[in-house]
A = this chain, B = another copy of it.
């Protein structure tokens, strides 16, 4: 491992250009023999500029390597083509994929994208305030409790769009938000396991995004609904985290119970941990136990057994959230945008009929 600091070539002789400080609108004006006002018109593509002077100005811009100062533009015009996303995580697959969609959408729209991770130690109000006055608007990923808490504290006057877990039926979030219908997806996945002959389905949960004041987590809720619809009393869910280690620990207990034949997991990492625990306990998947994950992380189709899981379009969710924010920014209004694709149950090797 190594770090190096190389003394950069100090000054002089940069072929195309080599000034000390960037050319301003006035430098261009002088070079073109016009007022800086006219330069402003040219760079803003104003209609009323004589063709010839436009050309002169453009030539000057070219030769001076002029680029409009983004800070000055923002201050003078009040237009900030930038958004900043607030999230508690950037590495977990669902978050990273959402971030990717957000970045693509903002890039496509010519916006700058800032990222600010919120931690449990943060003073939420301070964090939000500084993120808010950095850019033109906020996008908050409210998949987990911290993100959801941050969202709750965003002042009403700050343009903001959120990504959240599916709200309870009939309820809409207080703020513009997008979500995948993971409640229904969990219901379908559970129903699928029941249809395979399993008498019940156990659930290894991801941490809840809301406190007690709100309804239950949608994935857990969908799972419960499916069981109840089949006349089955839901067993107690387990799970104490987001990662494979948490899945492993929950899986160890489930593996020890011979009655357990089907397990739904709140995400694919959890499922991998459960698979591992079952393996260690000598229980075969899917012959002895079926496992279904959530999210369809890129490697989930390549582990052995490959993982049956619910595919969620995080990327599309990111695009949609950006669209929601942008329409606020542009119109001052709030309008729905395109709807991301429905979740899909991807059947692979880790689930199968109950052994008789």
Contact = CB atoms under 8 A, between A and B. Distances in A.
Interface of A: 1-9, 14, 18, 22, 67, 69-72, 74-75, 80, 82, 84, 90-91, 93, 96-97, 99-100, 103-104, 107, 112-117, 129-130, 133-134, 155-157, 166, 172-181, 243-245, 247-248, 269, 272-273, 275-276, 279, 298-299, 301-304, 306, 313, 320, 324, 327, 334-343
A7 B332 CA distance: 11
A1 B180 contact: yes
A326 B279 CA distance: 48
Number of copies of chain A assembled together? 2
Which 8 residue pairs of A and B lie closest in terms of their CB atoms, listed nearest first? A244-B302, A5-B336, A5-B334, A91-B96, A272-B302, A276-B302, A3-B336, A71-B75
Contacts of A134: 70, 112
A99 B85 CA distance: 14
A6 B176 contact: yes
A133 B90 contact: no
A1 B341 contact: yes
Nearest to A179: B2
Contacts of A273: 302
A116 B115 contact: no
Contact of A71 (B6, B74, B166): B74
A128 B218 CA distance: 42
A16 to B, nearest CB: 9
A301 B173 contact: no
Contacts of A82: 114
B173 A6 contact: yes
Contact of A157 (B14, B155, B336): B14
Contact of A113 (B69, B116, B340): B116
Contacts of A178: 2-4
B304 A276 contact: yes
A93 B93 CA distance: 9
Contacts of A179: 1-2
Contact of A335 (B5, B75, B113): B5
A320 to B, nearest CB: 6
A244 B299 contact: yes
A9 to B, nearest CB: 5
A8 B279 contact: no
A65 to B, nearest CB: 9
A156 B302 contact: no
Contacts of A166: 2
Given A116-B113, A298-B244, A2 B324 contact: no
Contacts of A99: 90-91, 115
Contacts of A247: 302
Nearest to A301: B244
Contacts of A112: 84, 114, 116, 134
29 contacts: A1-B179, A1-B339, A1-B340, A1-B342, A3-B178, A4-B172, A4-B177, A5-B334, A6-B172, A14-B155, A69-B75, A70-B133, A71-B75, A75-B75, A84-B112, A90-B90, A99-B115, A103-B115, A107-B117, A243-B298, A244-B301, A244-B302, A269-B298, A269-B299, A275-B302, A276-B303, A279-B304, A299-B299, A304-B304
